[in-house]
Structure 1
Amino acid sequence: MWRVVVSLLLAWSFQTALSQLECEQVDRCSCEMTDGSGRINLHALAHPNNLYRIDHSIFTFLYSPCGAMKNVNVTGECNDATSVCQLFKEGGPGYNYGGADSARFSVDPDTKQVRISYKHNANNITRVSNVNLVCDPGQREKALFELEWAEPLLLNFKLTSVCACPGGCMAPAVTCNMKDSCTCDMSDGTGAINLHPLDNPWAPLRSSHLQPDLGRNFTYYYNPCSGFSFTNTMCTNVSTCQVDTEAQLFYALGDVAPQPNPDVNQENGSVTFHYVNTEDTGRHSDIRLICDPDQHVPEFTSLGEPSENFYVMALKTRCACPGLCKDDPIARKARYLEWKASNSR
């Protein structure tokens, strides 16, 4: 008898595991349904400069899926990292009910309703907002954003759209459109990747790398925006340079400006700048930008020469994150004066 009971329990557990539908997070506004029905993709709804808005009772609610809201002219907690904001209609501070980076997908085990949740912690207070994603193939023009109910520190909304249907709304490929030699605008509205604060032609970023087949070290240099020059070498007015430290040979790996179409990884949003040295025989290089909001000091790493005359480097910095960095001419002048002072001693 006990064997029958155990078998039934195992069968029930197995069936329960199979029935636990999930939506596995891909990024902060898309997830993949585990039943194979497809991906819920909200990228097409990202309009951080044109927010979803609800005027309700004494409050106004603002929502920016995918990316943090931009240019929110309010006081209080609703800054450039916020996805959900609550405002008093008559003025006063805004309250952050969830940052863009806090977005998490889940599925209600009873209703099978997919929702995306946000939270914000400040002064030992946690505010939470939930957005239930309602699939409606007929809601194609614009998503319908509604308040379901609210209580202190908890907001519940409903977002109705074809994009809430698995496989129903595949956004176009995200691109980053070059504005100048070191700034590009993300087409999904998340902001600009701006490397201007890293521009320092007097002290370019550097990294050493051991080339296994040659058995010796090379040093790689990189400076975005305005490039740099090593006097009386091939590395004059370039963005990237390889130096054979043993033989003291210099090889230019890229002009100051990158190629006009950076690559954008469609899974994680990372951007790669491509550089070509038009004055040499085919040498070119890639700079892989790695977004890390906490990386205030840039980390530059050479990854070597994966194929002949092609060089790869990685740059981890908060300035590789859309919208986090802006040009600062005053800081740039300060870097120059610091360099000038150090060279006059």
Structure 2
Amino acid sequence: MTSWLECFSVLLLAGTVLAAAPTCKKINDCACTPTDANQTGVINFFPMVSSNGAKPAYMVNGTSKQTKNAYTFYYNPCMSFNMTSSTPDQCTNQLICQELMPSKWTYALGAHTSVSFAYVNNMLIAYYYSKSTNNRTSEVRLICDENETHGKFVYVDEPKSLYYQFNFTSMCACPGKCPNKTLVPDKWIETNRCLYRQMTSGKLVNLQGLATPLKVATNEHTTYYYSPCNGLELGSLDEKCKDAAVCKQDMSTSPPTYTGIGSEKVEVTEDDGDIVLHYPATTDGGKCFDVKLICDQSADDPILTSADDKNMILKAKVACSQ
């Protein structure tokens, strides 16, 4: 027979309702929506990203308690970037990277699309996973400060091997407090090698009309060739430029040297409303390369110009979105 004390205990436990732990529903790599009814608005770090999505917005130095090595850490909250070095675990398509000093070897700390959000002791944390050979992980504590308009990135610790902790203090860690409360980037995706579509709006940019390779000289020795759709198959270029979207021809050497760029999948971002095609660095000693598309309905003949040896501007009718 069940005693009254046992009945009371059962009723007490049954009547206790544990409050659901707060969560932040992921929208994309840099935005989530808190489920806590006391927090209204999106937590969105897109205004904190570098104006050049391929270049990290934040850099901080730190020394590991595990290895005693000195590092420089790079962070871009929303858009991936690339860094090259001789290490097998290169920083490619990452949101966080680690650079060993003074050798400048780089390591991936947080891959694009790997981000997850969770509350721990009422602190919102973004977790980044490198998806690399050593599976490095980064933990970024998102600290709300409405007076911090730029954002402050601080290295905290390496509590265990290959696990890194940071603080990121920003007004954008406060729900609905960023300068543009509704700004969640409408991501561009590459449909094929030269057709780009915006996921939400459905806008298209089609470069298929660029059948003939374009070229531009940055100085008397260097010429860049650009063919976004079909790759370069110019007879005067060697094997390193086969199937590349961009090829650098250097006439200062004898014989001339060639570097292929953009053989990997292109990344599409926006810069003040203009579409930017970012071509990652290749593994044969190449470098990253950006082409900004400027819509010009009067430019029947595309015009490729040089901003510097890593940034080109393509003004063309085919650069206009449809």
TM-score of the two chains, using structure 1 as the length reference? 0.50
Instruction: Report the CA distance shift for 1:80/1:324 in structure 2 as closer, same or farther (over 3 A).
Output: farther
In the alignment, is residue 46 of structure 1 matched against residue 42 of structure 2?
A: no
Structure with bigger gyration radius: 1
In the alignment, is residue 128 of structure 1 matched against residue 134 of structure 2?
A: no
Residues 141 and 166 in structure 2, CA contact (< 8 A), matched pair in contact too: yes
Match of 1:64 in 2: 76
Residues 45 and 172 in structure 2, CA contact (< 8 A), matched pair in contact too: yes
Match of 2:153 in 1: 145
In the alignment, is residue 97 of structure 1 matched against residue 103 of structure 2?
A: no
Q: Percent identity?
A: 22
Match of 1:22 in 2: 23
Structure 1 residue 324: Cα displacement: 7.1
Residues 23 and 34 in structure 1, CA contact (< 8 A), matched pair in contact too: yes
Instruction: Report the CA distance shift for 1:46/1:271 in structure 2 as closer, same or farther (over 3 A).
Output: farther
Q: Distance in 2 between matches of 1:137 and 1:5?
A: 46
Alignment of 1:77-226 (within 5 A): 77-108=89-120, 111-123=121-133, 125-140=134-149, 142-150=150-158, 151-169=160-178, 170=180, 173=183, 197-198=193-194
Instruction: Choose from 268, 273, 282 the match for 2:204.
Output: 273
Q: Which amino acid aligns with 1:161?
A: S
Q: Distance in 1 between matches of 2:174 and 2:109?
A: 25
Structure 1 residue 44: Cα displacement: 1.0
Structure 1 residue 43: Cα displacement: 1.1
Instruction: Report the CA distance shift for 1:135/1:320 in structure 2 as closer, same or farther (over 3 A).
Output: closer
Q: Distance in 1 between matches of 2:8 and 2:190?
A: 65
Instruction: Choose from 5, 8, 13 the match for 1:4.
Output: 8
Instruction: Report the CA distance shift for 1:64/1:87 in structure 2 as closer, same or farther (over 3 A).
Output: same
1:33-92, Cα deviation, whole Å (9 max, x unpaired): 11121221111112232431012242111111112124x344433434111111112124
Q: Which amino acid aligns with 1:42?
A: F
Instruction: Report the CA distance shift for 1:157/1:35 in structure 2 as closer, same or farther (over 3 A).
Output: same
Structure 1 residue 93: Cα displacement: 2.1
Alignment of 1:238-253 (within 5 A): none
Q: Distance in 2 between matches of 1:103 and 1:164?
A: 15
Residues 195 and 320 in structure 1, CA contact (< 8 A), matched pair in contact too: no
Residues 189 and 199 in structure 2, CA contact (< 8 A), matched pair in contact too: no
Match of 1:218 in 2: none
* Structure having the larger proportion of residues in strand: 2
Q: Distance in 2 between matches of 1:40 and 1:175?
A: 13
Q: Which amino acid aligns with 2:105?
A: P
Structure 1 residue 264: Cα displacement: 5.5
Instruction: Report the CA distance shift for 1:148/1:32 in structure 2 as closer, same or farther (over 3 A).
Output: same
Q: Which amino acid aligns with 2:25?
A: E
1:212-251, Cα deviation, whole Å (9 max, x unpaired): xxxxxxxxxxxx59xxxxxxxxxxxxxxxxxxxxxxxxxx
CA RMSD of aligned residues (A): 3.2
How many aligned residue pairs are there? 198
Residues 84 and 106 in structure 2, CA contact (< 8 A), matched pair in contact too: no
SS in 2 for 1:139: coil
Q: Distance in 2 between matches of 1:173 and 1:78?
A: 31
Match of 1:206 in 2: none
SS in 2 for 1:97: strand
TM-score of the two chains, using structure 2 as the length reference? 0.53
Structure 1 residue 19: Cα displacement: 4.2
Instruction: Report the CA distance shift for 1:120/1:22 in structure 2 as closer, same or farther (over 3 A).
Output: same
Structure 1 residue 7: Cα displacement: 2.7
SS in 1 for 2:97: strand
Alignment of 1:250-329 (within 5 A): 265=200, 271-273=202-204
SS in 2 for 1:137: coil
Q: Which amino acid aligns with 2:99?
A: L
Structure 1 gap ranges (5+): 177-185, 187-191, 199-223, 226-261, 276-317, 328-345
Structure 1 residue 5: Cα displacement: 2.2
Match of 1:294 in 2: none
Structure 1 residue 193: Cα displacement: 5.3
